[in-house]
Chain A
Amino acid sequence: MKFLLLLCLSINLGAQLRKPVLLELFTAEGCASCPPADELISAVDQLQPIPNADLIVLSEHVTYWDHSSKDRFATTALNNRQLGYSQLLKLESVYTPQLIIDGKYECIGGNGPEAKRLILEALKQNKPLLELNANRVNGKIKTNISFFGLNGATVLVAIAEDYAETKITKGENAGKTLKHTAVVRALHTIGTAEGLRYDHTVELPMPTISSNFRVVAFVQDSKTGHILAAAQVKL
């Protein structure tokens, strides 16, 4: 059985020509330093500038800049997610814009060269193939996720709006029209991987989204926070 598992894993790894790397940008519309990072993540998403890498981006908006006006994409759940990374990475504080790369590395969100260096580090890590299928069914998002191994790891699915823009009227970004890419509108914990193969179908509620969206599934080590597998489907 072990041989079969190894065979399946190696076939899957061979089939995956571009290695997925998950880039989570913690950002906020009230943060004056964030627009360059939003721009960088948008360019990375569209142009995929690193050969052999499938750069899967998520913009995760935090609420702690909501003093004068509310960032409509920000949630306290995403604050908590960033705080969790801050604790795992032993940082003194959270900040924006912060880029978390595969749950393992972090840098200032607008620091392209450092992001590139860390992405190349992340690419050294082999990941099993995560197969993801997602469709709209009766106002819900029917999602199937399957992969081999990764026992004990947590399976998550993000629903992200492909593109969004906001005209800012208050605060330091007042007068700017901010453009966002892959804005997380919902993040669901699906379950825990058990056994040789995880194969699970779930129907997720459709969040209110004004543009096209993408479904991003990823598997995260519950203790270290490292991303062990990831995939995305654009709908």
Chain B
Amino acid sequence: MEKKLTLADLARILEQYDVVELEDVTIKGEVELELGSSAGLALPPALAQALQSLMGAREMPGTLEAKRIEALLPATFKVAKAEWAGKIEEVTIGATSADGGTRERTVTIGGEKSLPFYNFDAKMPHPPVISVDCFDMPIPLARAVREYYEDVMEDPGEWAKKNVREFGADMVTIHLISTDPTIKDTPARAAAKTVEEVLQAVKVPIVIGGSGNPDKDPEVLEAAAEAAEGERCLIASANLNMDYERIAKAALKHGHVILSWTQLDINAQKTLNRYLFKLGVPREDIVIDPTTAALGYGLDYAFTNIERMRISALKGDTDLAFPISCGITNAWGAREAWMKDSPSKEDSDWGPAAYRGQMYEIITGLTLGLAGGDMFMMMHPNAASTVKKVTQTLFGAKVKEDKAKRVAIEDWVTWDAEVGASKK
């Protein structure tokens, strides 16, 4: 079927591209003159004239034919900077002897005035940090992780040391899970001793985690906070389902930072933070944990929850303007991270579980880093080092490495897989 193009149509098209004059244009075929029609579109006078003068040659079929372009049209790429009203609180964890502690170094997170790694808007002040987990008793772990910790599982001090020495942890998290009444019901006093051991064993700042039992944790974390007096640990955690007041007061009294944990709920996070303000917890003593879900198992909710919190904070919501901690070890809850084969017989082969586990931890960590995570609690050494490397790179700390390895990237098209593979 022949297409009918009216002058009004043509003018509308031209107007879209801000064209007011045409040069070297031939109009062929049926053209309907509809000047001043009901479309209410006024043609620029010069254009109307030009078009009318072209009406003579309209015998042959065809379409609008532009002139062959001989040179690239010049353009400059311009983009505005995003400016935000808010700023994330800067929080330091760990205290050196100058501040009444015994840590050899401290860790500072937060302070952002832009989205994570958006250095083109405002330079990110601190890179995200990695805290590697250890536990106060041997726990069931996926085989791919267990092999790294088998020799230290009975000794939390040795475990913490290994995390720092061999796996380059910025911090160590000691999880006092044996205190859970349904596990070993270890008394709070004994748990406090474990914390002392870990503080002796390593000189990096530490995170002290309870068992997650809402009835027992206040007592356990209170004793631990007292034992770690002056070390400015991160106490994990206070939440709305427990006596958070007792934990917050202990952290306050003994000079620690408190982790405010809620479950994928912005309003709950604001509420709990406000309760902490009321108890007199200073803003620079709060880190938030909005909950981490694994790749494939709610990561979308966790990602958006964190991204929304961070954007609200940057827009000026001071209830949410705190550094964010993410429990990336949760990635191992995904069956793809540890299960030998797929339970679904119709799936394509899953390949070795050992390769999948660290991949799930890496992707979960990086994803939440891009949402706004400042601190990652992790487990698999390779996953931890990979997430550290990529976040450091995006942060801008790996400039030199790039100079050494800069490649002609367009050559990927002709990259020879056989040569590439044989290099290993």
A, B co-complexed: no
Chain A residues in contact with chain B, CB under 8 A? none
Chain B residues in contact with chain A, CB under 8 A? none
